[in-house]
Every structure is written in structure tokens, then in C-alpha cells.
Amino acid sequence: MEEFRRISADDNPIHFDADFARDRGFAGPIVYGGLLVAEISRMLGTALPGHGCVWQSLTLKFRRPLLVGETGTLEAEVKHETPHLGVMLIRLLISSNGQRIAEGEAMALLPRPKQEAAE
């Protein structure tokens, strides 16, 4: 959290000041939404669809915040793949302790096979 705060220059106290967060109706500081998006980016570029993909779009609707100290889980499911166009639509769900944190979709350009890339 502190490193993301430094890199992003997002010093909103909702992310690090427990009293401020509680005054706003939260149980404590909340995790940066940008960190959750970074985890989605990591997943897209390393696991599904994997190395070499480029994401075209991302929609994400937050249902509730992930509190600092909670463990979040990212689930991804391929909704549709069109190999000849080189695109994949992926459903996303972030949850914690059985509660939905966020849900959405990502559209990713698939990496081209090496033989096609060389042509």
C-alpha cells in the first residue's frame, strides 16, 4: 500500500488513516482500486491469456471495498474466444470472505503464434 501510494501520489487518507476511513462509514482503510486493477493486469499478462497479450478494455464495478488486511481473490473465466480475430473476453470476479468486491470483464488481444509473427 505504501509503495503504491508513493508511486501513484494518491494520498487520499481513506487508504491509510483508520479514523478518516471510519468517519466515512468504512471499518478501516481500504485498498487502492488501482492495486486491484494491477492484479488483473498481472493475471492477463502472465496467466490468462498470458505472456504477450495486450488488453483492449477493462470494465470493473466495485460492490464494496477491500479493507486493508483482508485477502482478496481474483477469479477469471473465459466467456468467449475468437482465435481467428485474436481476441478473448474474460469475466472477472474479485471476492473476499465470500463477498463480492468487484466484477467486470476484460477484452484481450491474444499473442500471435511465433510463425505468424515472423511472416
Looking at residue 51, its pLDDT comes to 84
- Residue-averaged pLDDT of the chain: 91
Spatial neighbors of 94 by CB under 8 A, at least 6 apart, are 36, 39, 66, 72, 73, 74, 75, 100, 101, 102, 103
Assign residue 107 a region (left: φ > 0; alpha: ψ between -120 and 50; beta: otherwise): beta
The residue-averaged pLDDT of 22-47 equals 94
C-alpha cell at 79: 466467456
- Residue 98: pLDDT over 60: yes
- Model confidence pLDDT, tens digit, residues 40-49: 999 998 888 8
- Model confidence pLDDT, tens digit, residues 64-76: 999 999 999 999 9
Domains of the chain: 31-118 (3.10.129.10)
- Residue 118: pLDDT over 60: no
C-alpha cell at 86: 485474436
- Residue 117: pLDDT over 60: no
- Residue 116: pLDDT over 60: no
The residue-averaged pLDDT of 18-41 equals 96
